[in-house]
Structure 1
Amino acid sequence: MVGKKGGFEVQVKKEEVVAAALPIQEHWLPQSNLDLLLPPVDVGVFFCYKKPAAASGGGGDSSSSAFGLMVGVLKKALAQALVYYYAFSGEIVLNSGGEPELLCNDRGVDFTEAFADVRLEDINFYNPDESIEAKLVPKKKHGVLSVQATELLCGGAVVACSFDHRVADAYSANMFLVSWAEMAQSKPLSLLPSLRRSILSPRRPAGTYHPSIDEMYVPISALPPPKHRRPAAEHLISRIYYVESGQLNHLQSLASDSCAGKKRTKLEAFSAFLWKIVAGRETQPDGTCSMGIVVDGRTRLSTIDGYFGNVLSIPFGKKSAGELRGKDLSWVANAVHEFLEEAVSKEHFLDLIDWVEAHRPEPGLSRIYAAGGGPAFVVSSGQRFPVGKVDFGWGRPALGSYHFPWGGDAGYVMPMPSPAGNGDWLVYMHLLEGQLETVEAQAGHVFKPLTFEYLNH
């Protein structure tokens, strides 16, 4: 199969299924209440590697031989990792109540070997819809996880995955990626995953929760009917930028001004800055702009550091566009801090678990997905993205990034640490085309298109 898109071809060489290295007894694993808040969407992640030093002396045949050895290492380590991460080797099936449940049957992971006739330095990372989507990141067709290893014309490689968000959040995927790399280098696992769903069991009596949860989450039946997008309507597109550490420090300084001695985090400052820019494009006099920020509950529910699954909440703020435009950055950062405070406690996550229990079997969803009245987007912190640790034995990645064009009406933004380890951020942005044009026009000095030259400097 050959697919031509984005200026280069990708040819699939081999497809197989990789199962766990040891037998797994078939069993059912229920989704936790927090898993049930996730719609059926897949998340992509990819890592780009330069040509291994051991393969630098030969021609095409030696490069292919080196890639064959790399694939062998990847498949063997994947089979070993699936013994611990057996949830990734199963299937999602609807139970008799109509809820998704994980069948741990070691169905295995679809593993694709491919070749792309492009050099690493010629890939357009700035536009991942053209260069990454369904080319270097596989489209998951079966199971929970799919993997693709792609050899590049220069002898480099791209290792990419797509996984079902209902089974794992970014923290869980990060754990798996690090464990996979550790297995490849015959290292002991630095963190063993826990799949104890009872950790997230609802309290008793069920159905008692703080009313603030109703302001953040909504049952599916209460959502407005989906809008029919006009042919001329804007589409959500993806871009990857880098933001230099000096700019992040400057934004943090501006956001912390007039905060009564309280320093705002870089994520709060960054999010506030982006909120102002996106709101600046709203032309309706009474228009609003909503922004949510993903909060990981593991640091709040302190007993589940290695928990594998979803432990997320998405608090959000909704302000008038005029107010966001007219106020200084510190005021907007204070607004970000205020809505975040509602979701950074143990009680919030316990209430959220109980909210889901009270509405089951009807699924719920964060209200930010249907905020209405104006633009909306979600910022997810990827600062724990372990790009430097995903070394399978042939060196650290030159680039690692999530790729998540989730298909909803709200935008999505994921800032991650630069592989250079210099304090810069890489930022994956999935926003309306016009919003990205505004970002580049008003803040091009902050959001700079990701290039190979930046990665290679």
Structure 2
Amino acid sequence: MGGGGDFTVTLTKKVVAAMLPMQEHWLPLSNLNLLLPPLDVSVFFCYKNPHDQRVNGGDDFTFGSMIGVLNKAISPEHWRPIMHCQGKLWAHADVRLEDLDLYNPDVSIEGKLVPKKNGVLSVQVTISHSLCISNVVLVGACTFDHRIADAYSANMFLVSWAEMAQSKPLSVVPSFRRSLLNIRRLGSYDPSLDDMYVPISALPPPRAQQPGGADPLISRIYYVMAEQLSLLQMLATSKSSSYKRTKIESFSAFLWKMVAKSAVGENDNKKICKMGIVMDRRMRLSSGDEDKAAVMATYFANVLSIPFGEKMIDEPKVKPFELGGRCRS
């Protein structure tokens, strides 16, 4: 990828689509939602201009017609019970997708092709004209407040939006029944959980205030070929064992090993290195009850945990599969 962080995105239109009067619906955050910090998460999708297709069997696709379909599908008449739709952004970008540096999304994507969050959800649709008109590309992006939705819920929203844009019936009707997660008994926690959290005052200062501008939180996008995952899985599986490592185990162990190897500072080997994977817990909370499992499969909110292992930083370099210690969630 090239250095695609230096380009211009021009806001062409902001559509305010809230219909008044509106019936307000107040939805409380669950305890699982409240575990999440005020963190923004984004997703974007890229589409080639489908010249040989038509919108709902009618007019040829144009930027305006595509915007119209997306705008209608996300209008408040569909989403009124769950969303107060204040506005959506349409924009043009003077960059080709092949020139974007997707390895550094914080620089090349955030605030450009992916909108800054305003409220609980922001949507931006961007058109990018390359040198050849046949490669005109549409980029659809959303930024969510993580406190209202995990990746599973965000996917429900995106799939529903796509189905409505294609005039299809909804395959999943989301559930907002917070009572599904009412506690059965007073909770307790292991003292080891104290090691998972630190006061906000103990976090590293913002990037602008740090020597050299180092950023403690870095986003990366990796593109891994299927054959590479299969090779990792083969290398990770011992010939003397009947147990076959899964692809997620194999890749996670490889990533943990690479992160540990990247530590080159003095006394780094004496530091703790942690590896965690975000997991959906809807099936776990159904406790084998098929009826509850069916309801939990449509539950829109946060139902996740992060099981993780920890080791001294030199151990994952040679034994990335042997998490040892405590694997917490």
So what's the TM-score if we normalise by structure 1?
A: 0.60
1:199 aligns with 2:180: yes
* One-letter code aligned to 1:69: S
1:242 aligns with 2:217: no
Number of the residue aligned with 2:41: 43
Deviations 1:299-336 (A, max 9, x none): 21232011100001112211011222233xxxx22428
Counterpart among 305, 312, 320 of residue 297 in structure 2: 305
CA separation of 1:182 and 1:289: change in aligned 2, threshold 3 A: same
Alpha-carbon distance, 1:113 to partner: 0.9
Hey, what's the Cα distance between the residues in 2 that align with 1:276 and 1:217?
21
Alpha-carbon distance, 1:249 to partner: 1.4
So what's the TM-score if we normalise by structure 2?
A: 0.81
Taking only aligned residues, the RMSD between alpha carbons, in angstroms, comes to: 2.9
Alpha-carbon distance, 1:287 to partner: 1.9
Higher RCO (C-alpha under 8 Å, 6+ residues apart): 1
Number of the residue aligned with 1:321: 313
Number of the residue aligned with 1:67: 63
* One-letter code aligned to 2:190: P
Counterpart among 312, 316, 321 of residue 333 in structure 1: 321
* One-letter code aligned to 1:274: L
Aligned partner of residue 257 in structure 1, secondary structure: coil
Query: Does the aligned pair in 1 maintain the 2:95–2:128 contact within 8 Å?
Result: yes
Number of the residue aligned with 1:276: 257
Q: List alignment gaps of at least 5 residues for structure 2.
A: 131-135, 287-291
Query: Does the aligned pair in 2 maintain the 1:113–1:148 contact within 8 Å?
Result: yes
Query: Does the aligned pair in 2 maintain the 1:315–1:339 contact within 8 Å?
Result: no
Aligned partner of residue 298 in structure 2, secondary structure: coil
Q: List alignment gaps of at least 5 residues for structure 1.
A: 57-61, 90-105, 344-457
* One-letter code aligned to 2:10: Q
Alpha-carbon distance, 1:144 to partner: 1.0
Query: Does the aligned pair in 1 maintain the 2:274–2:308 contact within 8 Å?
Result: yes
Aligned partner of residue 279 in structure 1, secondary structure: helix
Counterpart among 193, 211, 216 of residue 190 in structure 2: 211
Hey, what's the Cα distance between the residues in 2 that align with 1:234 and 1:74?
39
* One-letter code aligned to 2:47: Y
Deviations 1:38-87 (A, max 9, x none): 0111111111111222489xxxxx99x81011111011001168527x43
Query: Does the aligned pair in 1 maintain the 2:310–2:323 contact within 8 Å?
Result: no
Q: Which deviates more from structure 2 when the two are superposed, residues 124-133 or residues 192-201?
A: 124-133
Number of the residue aligned with 1:111: 88
Alpha-carbon distance, 1:17 to partner: 2.4
Alpha-carbon distance, 1:177 to partner: 0.3
Hey, what's the Cα distance between the residues in 2 that align with 1:23 and 1:200?
32
Number of the residue aligned with 1:231: 211
Deviations 1:128-173 (A, max 9, x none): 23331101101112x2111111111143211111111000000000
CA separation of 1:48 and 1:81: change in aligned 2, threshold 3 A: farther
Hey, what's the Cα distance between the residues in 2 that align with 1:276 and 1:81?
50
Counterpart among 28, 31, 35 of residue 29 in structure 2: 31
Query: Does the aligned pair in 1 maintain the 2:273–2:312 contact within 8 Å?
Result: yes
* One-letter code aligned to 1:131: S
Alpha-carbon distance, 1:234 to partner: 2.9
CA separation of 1:129 and 1:280: change in aligned 2, threshold 3 A: same
Aligned partner of residue 256 in structure 2, secondary structure: helix
1:132 aligns with 2:109: yes
Hey, what's the Cα distance between the residues in 1 that align with 2:318 and 2:17?
55
Number of the residue aligned with 1:144: 120
Residues 303-382 of structure 1: pairs in structure 2 closer than 5 A: 303=292, 304-327=296-319, 332-335=320-323, 343=329
Number of the residue aligned with 1:418: none
CA separation of 1:23 and 1:216: change in aligned 2, threshold 3 A: farther
CA separation of 1:300 and 1:41: change in aligned 2, threshold 3 A: same
Counterpart among 243, 264, 275 of residue 245 in structure 2: 264
Hey, what's the Cα distance between the residues in 1 that align with 2:150 and 2:171?
19
* One-letter code aligned to 2:70: L
Query: Does the aligned pair in 2 maintain the 1:110–1:145 contact within 8 Å?
Result: no
Aligned partner of residue 322 in structure 1, secondary structure: coil
CA separation of 1:287 and 1:81: change in aligned 2, threshold 3 A: farther
CA separation of 1:213 and 1:185: change in aligned 2, threshold 3 A: farther
Hey, what's the Cα distance between the residues in 1 that align with 2:321 and 2:78?
42
CA separation of 1:117 and 1:77: change in aligned 2, threshold 3 A: same
Alpha-carbon distance, 1:188 to partner: 0.5
Query: Does the aligned pair in 2 maintain the 1:50–1:120 contact within 8 Å?
Result: no
Hey, what's the Cα distance between the residues in 2 that align with 1:267 and 1:311?
20
Higher relative strand content: 1
Query: Does the aligned pair in 2 maintain the 1:109–1:146 contact within 8 Å?
Result: no
Counterpart among 259, 274, 285 of residue 290 in structure 1: 274
* One-letter code aligned to 2:36: L
Query: How many matched pairs?
Result: 302
Alpha-carbon distance, 1:109 to partner: 4.0
Identity of aligned residues (%): 52
Number of the residue aligned with 1:383: none
Aligned partner of residue 324 in structure 1, secondary structure: coil
* One-letter code aligned to 1:264: R
1:14 aligns with 2:13: yes
Aligned partner of residue 115 in structure 1, secondary structure: strand
Query: Does the aligned pair in 2 maintain the 1:43–1:164 contact within 8 Å?
Result: yes
CA separation of 1:325 and 1:118: change in aligned 2, threshold 3 A: closer
